[in-house]
């Protein structure tokens, strides 16, 4: 339902009421913002010095950019890993062999129910204590593996839903050509499902980037951690956190935009419906017939 | 196994889960309140409110929860010296609740909006035809149906909220599961697998009923069309 049906096209009186309402709404919103600014300046938080240390070129050189680099590095590794994991387990859940299907289902459902932070803390300890000899940077590895496990299981669901959303005729055509079920899946259904889920995978990147900030809690020097270190020296946590929040928001808005554009571009390449969605955040999101909704 | 049980009994594991459940409960109330207001703003005829709602959702949804939590403690508490409670622990707990509520409100808003989309246009047209103004139409006709259509996505948001309540660690809540698990693993490295599995299975046990309940409720309360 489009929201605009909720109210009539306004007449002259309605238009006047709406103009007044708009003005009042704008004043209230701007008033709230102004109040925040007044409170901040009352506490001396708008002092130029604090903002200068937070946006100084050296702050970028030694704190934000290395942090950003670490965040992006973790996100890049995690995305590649999650896609591999997701395709493997997604195909596993579609397998004709019941035991394979069950094992994959249990693993995927388990990984989606466990908070990513718990996995990170555990893996950090596992890699840091047990596998110290093999893994040099346990925090980085823990962040990447935890993100792979969670987001991979989300992508596994996307693969399953992508195949499920294809028109039935696709599989029927494959079978009637004499392909086996496995061949139909590999050569007809999967390629289309993968194209259909590509925008959703990019949306999922938003979640990967956001969750990488959990690495801060196990001492991985990503963006948030660098901002905290900078702030502890400069006495300007408010300003430093503001800067990195803007960075996160910009990155994620760009990703969402790319996902939306890609969904429109790809719609002619598959008989399923590519949808960008919002990335399956932290929730579990499988509804009827295995379709994936996003919270 | 029994030495592990000894280790387990030294820590208040159930108490830790209880903290997360409380965080989830209060966080969900805050998120539902803010989220409903945001959803009404986003479907209202007033452009300024639509924009404000949209800005809130886009900004919050793209900010990591960890950043919000850290901001609340480092900036609001230490810098602006705004204190919510004289009791140290309660203070951090309340900050965590606010962080969880503010963050998930954006998802609640979108869930309700997706619920609004399940209401057929004819319903709103009928409301208009009998002369109901916007707020009355929204309150009496559209939102009650929208909430019933939004139960599944709201349930997903609730599950997300439960799992994200572990991020309260970033707001210095040291009695919740991830913090307690971290301490246990640090002091009893030999049992790290058992400790992790205990906590992980605890979350599986909490998450599955919510999923089942909301699926059941959403199909039971779905408006037959």
Q: Is A284 within 8 Å of B71 when comparing Cβ atoms?
A: no
What is the per-residue pLDDT across A155-196, written as a single tens digit (0 to 9) for each?
998 898 888 888 888 889 999 999 988 889 888 899 888 888
At A82, the pLDDT band (50, 70, 90 cuts) reads very high
Q: Is B111 within 8 Å of A122 when comparing Cβ atoms?
A: no
Which residues of A fall within a CB distance of 8 Å from B49?
25, 29
How many A×B Cβ pairs under 8 Å? 201
pLDDT at B205 (0 to 100): 94
The distance from CA A215 to its chain's CA centroid, rounded to whole angstroms, is 15
pLDDT at A279 (0 to 100): 59
| Nearest residue on chain A to B206, alpha-carbon basis | A113
pLDDT at B85 (0 to 100): 78
How far is residue B55's CA from residue B104's CA, in Å, rounded to a whole number? Answer: 15
What is the per-residue pLDDT across A227-278, written as a single tens digit (0 to 9) for each?
988 888 878 888 889 999 999 999 999 998 998 888 888 877 777 777 666 5
At A285, the pLDDT band (50, 70, 90 cuts) reads very low
**Cβ–Cβ under 8 Å, residues A170 and A271:** yes
Q: Is A245 within 8 Å of B63 when comparing Cβ atoms?
A: yes
**pLDDT higher than 50, residue A286:** no
Q: Which residue carries 């590999």 as its tokens? A: A186
Residues above pLDDT 90, as percent of chain B = 48
Q: What DSSP string describes B144-172?
A: HHHHHHTHHHHHHHHHHHHHHGGGGGGGT
Sign of the CA dihedral A130, A134, A139, A143? negative
What is the per-residue pLDDT across B57-66, written as a single tens digit (0 to 9) for each?
999 999 999 9
Which residues of B fall within a CB distance of 8 Å from A291?
none
Sign of the CA dihedral A113, A118, A120, A125? negative
User: Cα–Cα distances in Å, from A167 out to A164, A198, A262, A271, A273?
Assistant: 8, 18, 21, 7, 10
pLDDT at A166 (0 to 100): 87
**Cβ–Cβ under 8 Å, residues B12 and B142:** no
**pLDDT higher than 60, residue A292:** no
What is the per-residue pLDDT across A204-232, written as a single tens digit (0 to 9) for each?
899 999 999 999 999 898 999 999 888 88
Angle, CA of B211, A293 and A83, to the nearest 5°: 100
Full set of structural domains in chain A with CATH: 52-268 (1.10.3720.10)
**pLDDT higher than 70, residue A108:** yes
Which residues of A fall within a CB distance of 8 Å from B139?
none
How far is residue B122's CA from residue B137's CA, in Å, rounded to a whole number? Answer: 12
Residues of chain B with pLDDT under 70: 1
- Cβ within 8 Å of residue B219, ≥6 positions away: none
Angle, CA of B47, B140 and B119, to the nearest 5°: 70
| Residue to substitute from A14, A44, A113, A120, interface B, most B β-carbons within 10 A | A113
Q: Is A287 within 8 Å of B215 when comparing Cβ atoms?
A: yes
How far is residue B214's CA from residue B209's CA, in Å, rounded to a whole number? Answer: 8
Q: Is B66 within 8 Å of A244 when comparing Cβ atoms?
A: no
Q: Which residue carries 């899946």 as its tokens? A: A185
Return the domain boundaries, chain B. Answer: 3-220
How far is residue A28's CA from residue A23's CA, in Å, rounded to a whole number? Answer: 9
The listed CATH number (3.40.50.1580, 1.10.287.950, 3.20.20.80, 1.10.3720.10) that belongs to domain B3-220: 1.10.3720.10
Min Cα separation B163/chain A (Å): 5
Facing residue for A241 by CB, picked from B74, B124, B196? B74
Q: Is residue A48 within a helix (H) or strand (E), and if so which, with residue range?
A: helix A48-55
DSSP β-bridge partners for residue A286: A292
């Amino acid at each position: 339902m489009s929201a605009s049906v909720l109210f009539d096209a306004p007449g002259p009186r309605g238009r006047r009421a709406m103009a007044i309402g708009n003005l009042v709404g704008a004043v209230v919103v701007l008033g709230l913002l102004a109040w925040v600014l007044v409170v901040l300046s009352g506490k001396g938080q708008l002092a130029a010095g604090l903002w200068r240390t937070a946006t100084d070129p050296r702050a970028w050189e030694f704190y934000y950019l290395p942090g950003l680099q670490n965040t992006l590095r973790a996100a890049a590794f995690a995305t590649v890993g999650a896609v591999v994991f997701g395709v493997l387990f997604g195909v596993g859940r579609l397998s004709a062999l019941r035991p394979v299907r069950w094992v994959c289902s249990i693993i995927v459902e388990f990984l989606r129910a466990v908070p990513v932070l718990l996995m990170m803390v555990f893996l950090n300890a596992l890699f840091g204590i047990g596998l110290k000899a093999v893994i040099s940077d346990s925090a980085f590895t823990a962040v990447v593996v935890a993100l792979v496990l969670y987001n991979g299981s989300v992508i596994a669901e996307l693969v399953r839903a992508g195949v499920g959303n294809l028109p039935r005729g696709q599989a029927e055509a494959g079978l009637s050509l004499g392909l086996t079920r496995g061949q139909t899946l590999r050569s007809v259904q999967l390629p289309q499902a993968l194209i259909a889920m590509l925008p959703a995978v990019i949306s999922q990147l938003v979640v990967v980037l956001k969750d990488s900030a959990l690495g801060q809690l196990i001492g991985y020097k990503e963006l948030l951690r660098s901002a905290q270190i900078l702030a502890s020296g400069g006495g300007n946590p408010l300003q430093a956190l503001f800067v990195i929040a803007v960075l996160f928001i910009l990155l994620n808005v760009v990703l969402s935009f790319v996902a939306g554009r890609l969904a429109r571009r790809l719609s002619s390449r598959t008989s399923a419906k590519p949808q960008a969605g919002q990335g399956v955040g932290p929730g579990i999101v499988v509804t009827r017939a295995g379709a994936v909704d996003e919270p | 196994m029994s030495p592990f049980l000894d280790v387990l009994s030294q820590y208040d594991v159930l108490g830790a889960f209880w903290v997360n459940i409380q965080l989830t409960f209060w966080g969900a109330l805050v998120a539902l309140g803010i989220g409903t207001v945001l959803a009404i703003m986003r479907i209202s005829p007033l452009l300024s409110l639509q924009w404000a709602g949209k800005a809130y959702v886009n900004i919050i949804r793209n900010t990591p929860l960890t950043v919000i939590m850290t901001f609340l403690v480092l900036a609001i508490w230490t810098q602006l010296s705004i204190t919510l409670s004289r009791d140290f622990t309660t203070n951090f707990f309340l900050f965590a609740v606010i962080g969880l509520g503010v963050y998930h409100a954006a998802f609640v808003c979108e869930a309700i909006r997706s619920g609004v989309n399940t209401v057929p246009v004819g319903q709103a047209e009928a409301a208009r035809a009998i002369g109901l103004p916007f707020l009355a139409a929204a309150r009496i006709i559209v939102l009650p149906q929208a909430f019933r259509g939004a139960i599944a996505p709201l349930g997903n948001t609730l599950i997300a909220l439960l799992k994200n309540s572990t991020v309260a660690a970033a707001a210095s809540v040291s009695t919740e599961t991830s913090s307690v698990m971290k301490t246990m693993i640090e002091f009893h490295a030999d049992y790290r697998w058992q400790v992790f599995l205990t906590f992980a299975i605890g979350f599986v046990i909490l998450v599955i009923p919510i999923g089942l309940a909301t699926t059941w409720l959403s199909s039971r309360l779905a408006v037959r069309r």
